[in-house]
Amino acid sequence: MSSLDLKTLEAAAEWYVTLSEQGDAARDAHRRWLASDPRHAQAWARVERLQATLGRVTADIARPTLKSSRLKRRAVLKVLSVLLAAGGTAALGLRHTPARNALADHRTGTGETLELDLPDGTRLVLNTRTAVDVKYDAQLRQLDLREGEIWVQTAQDSLSRPFVVHTPFGSVRALGTRFLVRSDEADARVGVLQHAVEVRPQQALAHAVRVETGQQLSFTREAAGEPGTLHKGADAWMRGQLQVSDWRLDDFIAELSRYHNGYLGCDDKAAALRISGVFQLHEVDTVLDNLSGTLPVRTRRLTRWWARVEKR
């Protein structure tokens, strides 16, 4: 069964409250809603599975109590919070770690970092939600970045073995350097802090792209983009910070969500607002609360696992 979007779940919660309030008078309209989209029936099936739980947490829902839109909205949000909590990680928007990543040589959870010294003296730091394997042999020094982000400072190797980071989208070869590699769902990105690297997309291995100090580049399995300027503070996460300059708010929230357990989103009406500053990654809730002091937004929370920044 596919995961349900928040809008559909919220509509199902509203129908639950409406039927509790109006009973048979709303049955026909509810049936039309169910028939209009397969996702509606899927969401309602979740409601029906949770009828007992919903009955306990919404015992105050009754025809006499819903005399204002405010009271009805409160009831809808209460039902929605139950649907989200019962729906597991997919409904909440949680980024779950595939089981195979539990077998990685090294890994971090949400908001964690991990510093390592590799056998040749190379320094490796894992950012939040990262899984990596270390594979050294007589010919190569290799890292397999399964997901997430790493900072690497390579050491001079007595055996002169090349140093290569593999991602699901291609490889990054160090040319005596300090650099960042990040692998997301859609692509991978490399940022060079010192010297240079060579990027080879998985399906275009003969096409190597050199990335120099102060540059970054994104690549997919098919191709690599053009090198651009590495944004200031790209490695600020190593100091527990997120540093941004004139970012769109939705981009900022998307980046912040990597350090937040559960769903953290940005409403479309607030997406184009701009933000600059240095923010503490270990205090995500405080960062969200403080946004309203500088931007016309508010943070709506349903549970400790779900939050959305909205235009005020």
Q: Which of 104, 283, 90 is nearest to 183 (CA)?
A: 104
Beta-strand relationship, 114-117 and 274-280: unpaired
Residues 82, 144, single domain; the answer is: no
Q: Residue 111: pLDDT band by 50, 70, 90 thresholds?
A: very high
Q: What is the mean pLDDT of residues 53-74?
A: 60
Three-class SS of residue 264? strand
Q: Residue 60: pLDDT band by 50, 70, 90 thresholds?
A: low
Q: Which range marks the domain in which residue 283 is found?
A: 240-311
Is 104 within 8 Å of 133 (Cβ atoms)? yes
Query: According to the per-residue pLDDT averaged within each range, which of 20-29, 49-58, 145-154 is highest?
Result: 145-154
Residues 15, 58, single domain; the answer is: yes
- Each residue's pLDDT tens digit, 274-312: 999 999 999 999 999 999 999 999 998 876 777 889 999
Burial profile 283-297: b = 16 or more Cβ within 10 angstroms, e = fewer: ebeebbeebeeebeb
CATH number of the domain encompassing residue 250: 3.55.50.30
Residues 249, 301, single domain; the answer is: yes
Domain-embedded: residue 235:
no
Residues 196, 217, single domain; the answer is: yes
| pLDDT attached to residue 88 | 46
Q: Among 92, 126, 143, which residue terminates a domain? A: 92
Distance CA 165, CA 169 (A): 11
